[in-house]
Amino acid sequence: MNPLSIHDFTGLYDQMNRDTMHSVAASREKLATLYHPSVVFSDPFHTIHGLDELSRYFHQMYRSVESIHFHYGHYWRNEEADFLRWTMRYRHPAIARGQEIELGGGTELVWQDNRVICHTDLFDGGAMLYEHLPFIGWAIGKVKERMA
């Protein structure tokens, strides 16, 4: 078992916000407590290599959102990775007219040298972003109607 745990992961994410991630240096300092210098982070929009690049990405992201909060659900572990279900609530001034959006997803974490070496977030990119943009959201809604 890793001395760092899923509780360290959720604790870090509970602390991250616009104020705590105010600079790339502050972002790196926080992320270095959990992430390996050679971390690979991926989600439906990005694949990021290395702690420095991840720090820049998180700084940009947290600088842009007005609020973000995670509720953690089911967690399980096997010999290769930790898995965590979550629901994220966030507000971004350019998405959904600044209204709060709720998104469900999951995370897979692979550990090496007591740090996360691989972080994969799985969620519906359309539900996170595209469905909330004016024209694209309308078009996606029409496609969903036709498929139902």
pLDDT (tens digit, 9 = 90+) per residue, 111-138? 999 999 999 999 877 655 555 555 555 5
CA distance 117 to 39: 4
Residue 72 β-bridge partners: 86
Judge whether 1 lies within some domain.
no
In a domain, 142, yes or no: yes
CA atoms within 13 A on the CB side of 20: 11
pLDDT of amino acid 1:
42
Dig out the tokens for 40 from the structure: 């690979």
Q: What is the pLDDT of residue 133?
A: 54
CATH of the domain at 34: 3.10.450.50
- Short-list 61, 60, 16, 62, CA closest to 35: 16
State which residues of the chain have pLDDT below 70.
1-3, 96, 126-145, 147-148
Look at residue 112 and tell me if it is in a domain. yes
Report the candidate in 92, 126, 88, 91 with the shortest Cα–Cα distance to residue 105: 88
What is the Cα gyration radius of the chain? 16
- The total number of structural domains in the chain stands at 1
Q: Which domain holds residue 77?
A: 6-147
Looking at residue 56, its pLDDT comes to 95
What's the pLDDT score for residue 48? Answer: 97
DSSP assignment of 87-109 equals: EEEEE-TTSGGG--EEEEEEEEE
In a domain, 71, yes or no: yes
- Asked if the structure places residue 29 within a domain, the reply is yes
Is position 50 within any domain? yes
